[in-house]
Amino acid sequence: MKLIQAVIAILAGYTILSYGIPYLGSMLHHGTWPVVPVSLMKIYMFFVVMGVLAAMTFDEETKEGLMAPIRSVYGKPSMGPVRLAVILLVAVAGAGITYQSIKPSFEAPVELRSIHPAPPSTINVFKKSFNLLTLTNPYREDKEHFAENVKQGGVVYFKNCFYCHGDKLDGKGHYYNGFFPLPANFQDVGTIAQLQESFLFWRISTGGPGLPKEGAPWLSAMPIWQHFLSEEEVWKVILFLYDYTGRSPRTFE
């Protein structure tokens, strides 16, 4: 029956979207189980249903095969009990879907976080005061030693930072799964490419505890690197981050 075939095709599409795609994702990224967002599921299922209906009604013969069982149930007086059962089933299914979409949740509310918190105008690190509104990387204009400074910054990075941020600077280091939120992905155009170097100097030097309290909770595991690195090492690792990713820092101009 065409109607049964249509239902099977729609259920197959739903199964692939709900379980097939997450399974493929888990194969590519072991230890994870990606979930297709509900909003995307609705969009994809709309196209699945429309595609199945279009395929099942492309000519009069297939259209009649699809509609015949429906006409039989709703048109024949002898099908009264079946018709009533179908109506009740559709009503219960609709009520269930509606309830699932509006039922209250007992989970903790999602914490709203700013991706790039507003930095202070000045900071006190390395026993000095820095004006972040005018601060620039002192090693960026040293063209003669630029490559060597980037190399030294890379050494600092791989000794201290790659465990979380990854050897490809993509936020997937050895321990990244243990953090929430995840370590920053410097390859993403939405991270360091949108920032000035003074912002990175502030974030690296003061770490998670240095974030403004008015924007809490930050849940940042970033150490206070001024306790472990020198001012020179922080600036050079910043050079390395931009050089490796091929990004350019935003400037005050």
Q: Are residues 133 and 231 in the same domain?
A: yes
Residue 112 in this model has a pLDDT that exceeds 70: no
Confidence bin at 245 (pLDDT 50/70/90) = very high
Confidence bin at 61 (pLDDT 50/70/90) = confident
Radius of gyration over every alpha carbon of the chain, rounded to an integer in angstroms: 29
In a domain, 25, yes or no: yes
Residues 86-112, mean pLDDT to the nearest whole number: 78
CA dihedral sign, ordered 72, 73, 74, 79: positive
Residues 196-218, mean pLDDT to the nearest whole number: 86
Q: Say if CB 229 and CB 156 are below 8 A apart.
A: yes
In a domain, 108, yes or no: no
State how many domains the chain has: 2
Q: Which residue range(s) make up the domain with 178?
A: 122-245
End-to-end CA distance of the chain, in Å?
69
pLDDT reported for residue 39: 80
Question: Which pair of structure tokens corresponds to residue 146?
Answer: 């630029």
Question: Which of 210, 11, 190, 53 lies closest to 118, judged by CA?
Answer: 210
CA distance 101 to 127: 55
pLDDT reported for residue 196: 93
Mean pLDDT of the chain: 86
Strands (E), 106-150: 122-125, 128-131
Residue 252 in this model has a pLDDT that exceeds 80: no
Residue 241 in this model has a pLDDT that exceeds 70: yes
Q: What is the dihedral of CA 11, 16, 17, 19, to 10 degrees?
A: 110
Residue 110 in this model has a pLDDT that exceeds 60: no
Q: Say if CB 138 and CB 206 are below 8 A apart.
A: no
In a domain, 173, yes or no: yes
The answer to pTM > 0.95 is no
Q: Are residues 241 and 130 in the same domain?
A: yes
Q: Are residues 188 and 219 in the same domain?
A: yes
Q: Say if CB 70 and CB 27 are below 8 A apart.
A: no
In a domain, 107, yes or no: no
